[in-house]
């Protein structure tokens, strides 16, 4: 029996998608569109080109929603999550609609697709590294996202095969150093958090030493984040904690780069979170070209 790949676009609420694209379009054209006079409402066909070989296509629902809002249609030639080959230029989609509307949607749609595809491409590279090393834990993003664009960037992580981690402060509780210093201790911070989050939310504690991690685990933390540990120290601390608290999840975070990532893989580390999934991530080069009409 075979199972099909789930359609990830179903995780995006339609009303949220509509709200986002309307904001993008309003930002880009808040008043008149003088250039629209030059092209008018003649029907055109435009080709979406990917010019970054080896990249992963992500963000199709957002791209499509921009043009749907403008009364245009999008026909995809490649599916979400497709990895482009080595060709310098590859056709990815066809956009049809009135010339002025196609051009109104061009830049917002391309900006989004370039960013989401860049994130998915980086995530795919990281997951390939993990599989090659035989590591079975989870790679995860962080809240180091672009303000107002988090849902889009988290979606790109899903396409790239990486866990989104928590989406916001209302999700899983994460007690960081500032929470602990203000509360007085790890144990007290955990007690305070548990009193309001109940059974439905996990609590993660950021720890800067093995001693802090032991206190957090003993006080009932579900996840221990070993923050800014060197690979060697991380491996040693994770092994020790798993031996004493086998049900606790261990997350490594801080200082992990694309180059150093393989050094952090360990059978005792369940999660590795990386801010570089979104911060400093290269974009994918896309362009949209209206096809010239044949001269008779």
Supply the residues annotated as catalytic.
144
Residue 227 CB contacts under 8 Å (≥ 6 apart), including other chains: 206, 207, 208, 253, 254
Phi first, then psi: what are they for 215, rounded to 5°?
Answer: -65, -45
DSSP per residue, the chain = ---PPP-GGGGS-HHHHHHHHHHHHHHH-SS--TTHHHHTT-EEEEEEEE-STT-B---HHHHHHHHHHTT-EEEESS-TTPBP-S-S-EEEEEEEEEHHHHHHHHHHHHHHHHHHHHHHHHHHHHHHHHHHHT--SEEE--S---TT-HHHHHHHHHHTT-B----STTSSEEE-HHHHHHHSSHHHHHHHHHHHHTTTS-EEEEESSHHHHHHHHHTT-SEEEEET--HHHHHHHHHHHHHH-TTSEEEEESS--TTTGGGG--TT--EEE-GGGTTTPPPP-EEEEEPPPPP-
CB distance 162 to 140 below 8 Å: yes
């Amino acid at each position: 029996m075979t199972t099909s790949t789930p359609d990830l676009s179903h995780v995006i609420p339609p009303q949220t998608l509509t709200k986002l694209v309307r904001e993008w379009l309003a930002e880009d054209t808040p008043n008149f569109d003088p250039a629209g006079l030059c092209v008018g409402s003649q029907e055109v066909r435009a080709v979406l080109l990917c010019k970054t070989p080896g990249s992963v296509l992500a963000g199709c629902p957002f791209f499509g929603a921009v043009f749907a809002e403008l009364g245009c249609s999008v026909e995809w030639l490649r599916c979400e999550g497709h990895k482009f080959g080595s060709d310098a230029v590859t056709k990815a989609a066809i956009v049809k609609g009135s010339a002025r509307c196609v051009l109104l949607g061009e830049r917002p749609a391309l900006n989004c697709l370039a960013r989401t595809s860049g994130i998915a491409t980086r995530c795919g590279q990281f997951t390939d590294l993990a599989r090659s090393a035989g590591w079975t834990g989870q790679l995860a993003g962080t809240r180091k996202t672009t303000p107002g664009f988090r849902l889009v960037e988290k979606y790109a992580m899903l396409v790239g095969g990486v866990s989104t981690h928590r989406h916001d402060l209302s999700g899983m509780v994460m007690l960081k150093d500032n929470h602990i210093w203000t509360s007085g201790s790890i144990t007290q911070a955990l007690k305070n958090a548990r009193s309001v989050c109940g059974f439905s939310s996990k609590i993660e504690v950021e720890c800067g030493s093995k001693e802090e991690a032991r206190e957090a685990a003993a006080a009932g933390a579900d996840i221990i984040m070993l923050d800014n540990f060197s690979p060697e120290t991380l491996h040693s601390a994770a092994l020790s904690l798993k031996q004493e608290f086998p049900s606790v999840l261990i997350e490594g975070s801080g200082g992990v780069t694309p180059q150093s990532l393989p050094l952090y893989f360990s059978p005792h580390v369940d999660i590795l979170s990386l801010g570089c999934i979104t911060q400093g991530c290269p974009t994918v080069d896309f362009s949209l070209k209206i096809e010239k009409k044949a001269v008779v």
